Amino acid sequence: MKAEPPIYEFTTVDIPPKVKAPRKPQKRPPYVPRPKVFREYECADCGQFFTRDRATAYCSLVCEYVASTVRYMRSVDRRYPDGPPEDVAEAVRTMKAHALAGGYDKKARRLKPERREEVWARDGGKCVQCGADGEEIDHINGSSSDLANLRLLCRPCHGVITRSRFEKVGEDDHETKALAEEIFMRVKSPEPMHECDAPEWSERGAWQRWATTHSRPTT
Ligand SMILES: [Zn+2]
Ligand SMILES: [Zn+2]
Ligand SMILES: [Zn+2]
């Protein structure tokens, strides 16, 4: 008797292991750095347009410093209508002198805590000038954070030394004299002459707002 053909034929199939198809060697396109997007910003202090690749409100350190000096002096004027106490007056003089001398690089002069401790330990916690308790670290010359350029001072000695470095504005230094006059006018003006002269400028997001609303793409 002839066998009936099976209805179903079962076969076993080898399921091939999943192998990743060998990667075709792909040619990578040459690296082209994304061009930085430059915009023109209006300096909140001097009003000049300048080009930068990131948002900023000032064209320079000098402008940033002048603006903060004006703001500080306006707040002092309003707080002490009959004249500020001597220590505040001194702080104002120092700031103004720095502003006229082209700004003061706070960032460059910021010391790491380890460095502060080193100076403190080396000078025995005392003012190297008079031996009183040390309060402030002075940069002897310029912004270098080398140990040799730093010394511990008390506040009064630091004040005396800082003031001794001030120079009188030269009679024919018209640029500096004009800046001094501008600062004076901006401080005395009843209404802030620039947005960055108002106390609100120090609020969170104020300068960023300025930078976005006072900028344009470069052409
Ligand atoms: Zn400027
Ligand atoms: Zn001292
Ligand atoms: Zn100093």
The token pair that represents 15 in the structure block: 């399921």
Q: Which residues contact 101 (CB under 8 A, 6 or more apart)?
A: 167
Residue 129, domain extent: 106-166
Classify residue 157: in a domain, yes or no. Answer: yes
Classify residue 12: in a domain, yes or no. Answer: no
Classify residue 29: in a domain, yes or no. Answer: no
Classify residue 11: in a domain, yes or no. Answer: no
- Number of structural domains found in the chain: 1
C-alpha of residue 58 to centroid of ligand 1, in Å:
5
Classify residue 77: in a domain, yes or no. Answer: no
Classify residue 147: in a domain, yes or no. Answer: yes
C-alpha of residue 24 to centroid of ligand 3, in Å:
65
C-alpha of residue 207 to centroid of ligand 1, in Å:
14
Distance CA(191)–CA(147), nearest Å, equals 45
In the predicted model, residues of the chain with pLDDT beneath 70 are 1-17, 19
C-alpha of residue 108 to centroid of ligand 2, in Å:
24
Using one digit for the tens of pLDDT, what is the confidence trace for 105-133?
Answer: 777 788 888 999 999 999 999 999 999 99
Closest ligand to C-alpha of residue 158 is 3
Distance CA(64)–CA(57), nearest Å, equals 8
How many helices and strands (H and E) does the chain possess?
Answer: 7, 5
Closest ligand to C-alpha of residue 42 is 1
Beta-bridge partner residues of 136: 153
Classify residue 63: in a domain, yes or no. Answer: no
- Residue that the structure tokens 């976005």 belong to: 212
C-alpha of residue 69 to centroid of ligand 2, in Å:
26
* CA-angle at 90, arms to 78 and 170, nearest 5°: 105
pLDDT score for 14: 60
Closest ligand to C-alpha of residue 98 is 3
Classify residue 21: in a domain, yes or no. Answer: no
Q: Alpha carbon 174 to chain centroid distance?
A: 28
C-alpha of residue 137 to centroid of ligand 3, in Å:
7
CB contact at 8 A, 124 and 150: no
* CATH classification at residue 152: 3.40.1800.10
CB contact at 8 A, 136 and 155: yes
Closest ligand to C-alpha of residue 62 is 1
